[in-house]
Amino acid sequence: MTTSLSRDLIFLILQFLDEEKYKESIHILEQESGLFFSTKYFEELILAGKWQEAEKYLSAFTRIDDNRYSMKTFFEIRKQKYLEALD
C-alpha cells in the first residue's frame, strides 16, 4: 500500500523528470509505481503501432481479468498484433 507521502513524492519526481525531458524515465516510473497512467503516452504507443509496448505499459496498471474494459482493451491490442502478423 502506497502512503500519501510516497504518492506525493512520486508525483514530484515525475514532474521533475518531465521538466528535464526524461520521457522514458517518466514512463518507467509510472509503470513501476502503478500510480499514474499516461493516456497520452498510451495513445502515442497505439498510434505508432507499438503493440507490445502498449500491452506492457497497460499491464502495469490493470490485469486482463480486472474488468470488462481491461479485457476489451487487451483483446483489441492482441487482435491488432495478430492481424499485423498475418499481413
The CA-CA-CA angle for residues 79, 82, 87, to 5°, reads 125
Please report, in tens digits, the pLDDT of each residue of the chain (87 residues total).
Answer: 568 889 999 999 999 999 999 999 999 999 999 989 999 999 999 999 999 999 999 999 999 999 999 999 999 999 999 999 998
Q: How many beta carbons lie within 10 A of that of residue 79, not counting itself?
A: 11
Q: How many beta carbons lie within 10 A of that of residue 52, not counting itself?
A: 11
CB 41 within 8 A of CB 57: yes
Q: What is the CA radius of gyration of the chain?
A: 15
In this prediction the pTM is 0.86
For the CA atoms of 48, 84, 28, 71, what is the dihedral angle to 10 degrees? 110
